[in-house]
Amino acid sequence: MTSEQLFFDKKSGFDRLTEDDRVRIAPYAEGYKAFLDTAKTERDAVAELIRMAEAKGFRAYDRTMALHPGDRVYKVNRGKGIALAVIGQKSLAEGIRLAAAHLDAPRIDIRTVPLYEDGGMAYFKTHYYGGIKKYQWLAIPLELRGVVCVCDKGEIRKVDVHIGDKPGDPKFVITDLLPHLASDQMSKKVTEIVKGEDLNLLLALEPSRTEDEKCKDKVKLAVMEYLHAEYGMTEADFQSAELCAVPAWNACDIGFDRAFIGAYGHDDRVCSYPAATALLALEDTPEHTAMALLVDKEEIGSDGVTGMQSRFFDTLLADFCRAEGVPPEICYESSMCLSADVCNAFDPNFPEVSERRNDARAGSGLALIKYTGARGKSGTSDATAELMARMRTIFDGADVIWQTGQLGRVDQGGGGTVAMYLANRNIDTVDAGVPVLSMHAPFETIAKLDLYMAHKGFGAFYRA
């Protein structure tokens, strides 16, 4: 045999791309970019996914419904997570094909008592969400998104807040120090140049013109007057709000060849979007029930009612199984899961953190990741050789351009995904996702080829 036959060689995706796929990459990327601009929070993403699913004939599921092969249903978890399913021909005892990804992304959350005035300007106190490099969030335009549950004499009214996303809207900013006065700051460690407590969001300057003699904080008052006029809220209503600041820029093409997309929130919408679109695109009834499970709270450990560790998924599967008289444990045991999350793309600007043979490369396709974790594979599910073999066979059989990935050099750092929580349920699980440059930055970069291959790969998996 020749070395070509005997060696495993990580080729560029472009060497393997068929003309059929080549023409599909750019149009698919346009849909994804529009999704990113709409879906900057998990709530926004869920609302958009419901719209997309209903347009494809999916119905809201409730546990009294009888399910039949070919049925298309979705179930929302508190507006922050969603499961989409196409019921398959086989019994649930034969297992499901599950793609699990997350909809939350690192951002700057607004606190419960956030509003104050200092130096003649009004600010929000914040608490960052997820693993960010804090300095990257200074001096960039931010927009405000979320909900406020306004409590008024026993009545609760939920209002949506989107400020900064429409043309002509104002935006917000967390200011940084000028270099001229930054000699102390510049000599500090990067983790200390701005403290979490100092990530305060600039809101306003102009004082209220009210005659209120007792009020000392006229700028703060002007902000509350605005918010009351706009949303009917008082300062106390911040206690029942989920507001966050997210980057105010939209997704755009990067490079002369437009081969990349730069945007906020690729992690993990670059996996959750294709996991959903591949499911919505299933024309025929698949053999096994196919499900895209898109959850919240991955960036802070998958805890909570909307995270992967919540019983939401178990309850939904139990409801599906009960209708068929199948114990859910039997369904889990025969299921397969792609834990769809991003990995780092090899970055020639920072080669020292990568190991070239094993790290994924931008443009080499969907990355299959046997294990993540840190310090000797801690905090990972480490997929079995048998499962890796099945996935290789599925992807190769459908001409999916794929590669293997990992999370950098051994002992360089590491990280986890939702994979272990699914694997702990006795579901055969392996990570697969799109390689990302500048992961967790307010502006991340991915390759369109990899995005499209994620869509194609998840489709092949659902049909397997």
**Residue ranges in contact with Mn ion by CB under 5 A:** 267-268, 341
Least Cβ distance, residue 131 to Mn ion (angstroms): 7
Position with the least CB separation from Mn ion: 268
Whole-number Å distance between alpha carbons of 277 and 428: 23
Least Cβ distance, residue 121 to Mn ion (angstroms): 32
Q: For Mn ion, which is the closer residue by CB, 17 or 430? A: 430
Read out DSSP for 351-392? GGG--TTTSB-TTS-EEEES--BBTTTBT-----HHHHHHHH
Q: For Mn ion, which is the closer residue by CB, 336 or 369? A: 369
- What tokens appear for 217 in the block? 């904080």
**Cα separation values, 284 from 28, 87, 337, Å:** 21, 11, 21
Q: For Mn ion, which is the closer residue by CB, 361 or 440? A: 440
Q: For Mn ion, which is the closer residue by CB, 42 or 267? A: 267
Least Cβ distance, residue 340 to Mn ion (angstroms): 9
Least Cβ distance, residue 102 to Mn ion (angstroms): 6
Least Cβ distance, residue 172 to Mn ion (angstroms): 23
Least Cβ distance, residue 418 to Mn ion (angstroms): 8
Least Cβ distance, residue 419 to Mn ion (angstroms): 11
Whole-number Å distance between alpha carbons of 11 and 8: 9
Q: For Mn ion, which is the closer residue by CB, 143 or 341? A: 341
Q: For Mn ion, which is the closer residue by CB, 114 or 457? A: 457
Whole-number Å distance between alpha carbons of 341 and 99: 10
Least Cβ distance, residue 423 to Mn ion (angstroms): 16
Least Cβ distance, residue 132 to Mn ion (angstroms): 10
Q: For Mn ion, which is the closer residue by CB, 407 or 449? A: 407
Least Cβ distance, residue 353 to Mn ion (angstroms): 16
If we measure between CA atoms, which residue out of 75, 56, 461, 53 comes closest to residue 288?
Answer: 461
Residues found in the chain = 464
If we measure between CA atoms, which residue out of 332, 339, 435, 408 comes closest to residue 380?
Answer: 339
CB 55 within 8 A of CB 31: no
Q: For Mn ion, which is the closer residue by CB, 71 or 267? A: 267
Q: For Mn ion, which is the closer residue by CB, 326 or 441? A: 441
Give the DSSP letter of residue 237. Answer: G
Q: For Mn ion, which is the closer residue by CB, 86 or 343? A: 343
